Amino acid sequence: MAGARPGRRMGRMAIAVSLAGILSIAPLAGLQSVLAGSGSGVVFGWGVDTLNQRGVPPYVTDAIAISAGANHGLALNNGGTVYAWGDDTFGQTDVPLDLSGVIAISAGASHSLALKADGTVAAWGDDTFGQTDVPLDLSGVRAISAGWHHSLALLGDGRVAAWGDDTYGQTDVPADLSNVKAISAGWYHSLALTANGTVVAWGDDAFGETDVPADLSGVVSISAGADFCLALKSDGTVVGWGDNRLFQSSSVPHDLSQVVAISAGANHSLALKADGTVVAWGSNIKAQTFVPAGLSGVIAISAGWDFSLALGGIRTSQYVAVQAQPEGFFTRELQWVITAILGVIGLEVLAWYLVLRRRKPAGADSSPTQPR
């Protein structure tokens, strides 16, 4: 589509950093992953934490579901209570005080959705594009999904309702779409999984995110990221398409199998295996794919903008050293070594500068040099 795209490339800002920033900041973020806790019902977070988006409150110990937005997180307990943390610029973590009986949650860029047991939807946070303006006649909902600035709801009869930003047709649900069993909202596109295991996509196609592979079938789960998509097949394998410039979509690890859940973030992907371990790939600029060492027993995952969440699991320690993975030309180990070398060189240069400033030539007095 011709013309400027408002906000379209905000996600690239985290990537287009200076070389100095890569060498000095990113390695520090990847050295340790702070885990929120351990045991079933506890939420783990890793990746960027500038807005406390992975700083899960310590009282969240009974969660049964999680959802990561752009810079905030949500958790749901079995009593129907919703927890929220992270960025609250638009009130996306201000859970309505009277909200109860929730059975599902979904975090968008800066808004949040909750599905209640009675089939109604509650929404709060940013409403710039009408993404929290839940249709008044919406009822009988069985699933929800919050995108960048739009929202989706799956109705009991297999139809899909959509509202919010429609700049790229992301809320223009195909008229003939029916028999849907799952939905997922991306940044500017939307996905639907039908009962026969096929995937339907609509909205922005700048990176081929709505070009569903023609031979894709047997799909049991879907996830829409920023400009890419993931699909989980019944055989436990994962297929990705769309933007792959940071190896987040079609660059699925070749040996990845026995997957039971998937989640697509802004520029990274997560997969949960049957053995309770997590695999991540794609951008690691903020350590969002640095799965904490020793993390196992996970029962749910969710990928945000530059951070990741996992539910349940076991950790070996509060601070866990993580193994570095390649990120572009530099690996994390190389970045750290270069950072240390540059630091030493900087100190040496400063020391020599101070020495030379104080050193005086032999026989020189303190009077100014006279012109010849």
- HSE at residue 358, side-chain half, CA atoms within 13 A, is 6
Three-state DSSP at 94 gives coil
What pLDDT sits at residue 107? 98
**Domain residue limits at 199:** 32-323
**Across residues 293-313, what is the average pLDDT?**
94
Q: Does a structural domain hold residue 360?
A: no
**Residues 122 and 135 sit within 8 Å (Cβ to Cβ):** no
Which residues lie below 8 Å from residue 240, measured CB to CB, with a gap of 6+?
Answer: 228, 229, 230, 231, 248, 249, 250, 251, 252, 269
Residue 18 lies in a domain: no
| Strand 296-303 to 278-282 pairing | unpaired
SS3 state of residue 288? coil
Residue 21 lies in a domain: no
Measured CA to CA, the distance from residue 107 to residue 302 in angstroms comes to 10
Q: What is the pLDDT of residue 352?
A: 63
Buried b / exposed e along 1-37 (16+ C-beta atoms within 10 A): eeeeeeebeebeebbeeeeeebbebbbebbebbebbb
Instruction: Inform me whether the pLDDT recorded for 335 exceeds 70.
Output: no
In a domain, 16, yes or no: no
- Pairing, β 63-68 against β 72-77: antiparallel
Task: For 143-194, write each residue's pLDDT tens digit.
Answer: 999 999 999 999 999 999 999 999 999 999 999 999 999 999 999 999 999 9
Question: Is residue 8 included in any domain, yes or no?
Answer: no
pLDDT score, position 351: 62
> Who has greater pLDDT, 88 or 361?
88
For residues 105 and 111, the answer to whether their CB atoms sit within 8 Å is: no
What pLDDT is attached to residue 1? 39
Q: Is 351 helix (H, G, I), strand (E, B) or coil?
A: helix
Percentage of the chain modeled with pLDDT above 70: 73
Instruction: Enter the tokens of residue 277.
Output: 């371990």
Query: Which string of DSSP letters, residue by residue, matches 29-85?
Result: HHSEEE----STTPEEEEE--TTSTT---TT--SEEEEEE-SSEEEEEETTS-EEEE
**pLDDT at position 316 over 70:** no
User: Does residue 346 lie in a domain region?
Assistant: no
**Long-range CB contact pairs, 327-331, < 8 A, 24+:** 327/26, 327/283, 327/284, 327/285, 330/22, 330/23
Distance CA 103, CA 209 (A): 29
CATH of residue 249's domain is 2.130.10.30
Q: What is the mean pLDDT of the chain?
A: 82
The residues, any chain, with a CB within 8 Å of residue 290's CB and separated by 6 or more, are 30, 33, 46, 47, 280, 284, 322, 323, 324, 325
271 pLDDT exceeds 70? yes
Cα radius of gyration (the chain): 24
Q: List pLDDT tens digits, range 27-82.
A: 222 222 333 333 468 999 999 999 999 989 999 999 999 999 999 999 999 999 99
Note whether residue 164 is domain-resident: yes
**Does some domain include residue 228?**
yes
* Alpha carbon separation from 349 to 267, 293, 342 (Å, rounded): 39, 38, 10
What contacts 336, CB < 8 A, 6 or more positions away?
Answer: 27, 31
The span from the CA of 60 to the CA of 39, in Å, is 11
Which secondary-structure segment (H or E) carries 336?
A: helix 332-358
Query: Does pLDDT of 325 surpass 90?
Result: no
In this structure, what DSSP letter does residue 197 have? S
Give the pLDDT score at 132. 98
pTM over 0.75: yes
Q: Which residues contact 213 (CB under 8 A, 6 or more apart)?
A: 239, 241
| Number of domain units in the chain | 1
At residue 359 the predicted structure's pLDDT band, cuts being 50, 70 and 90, is low
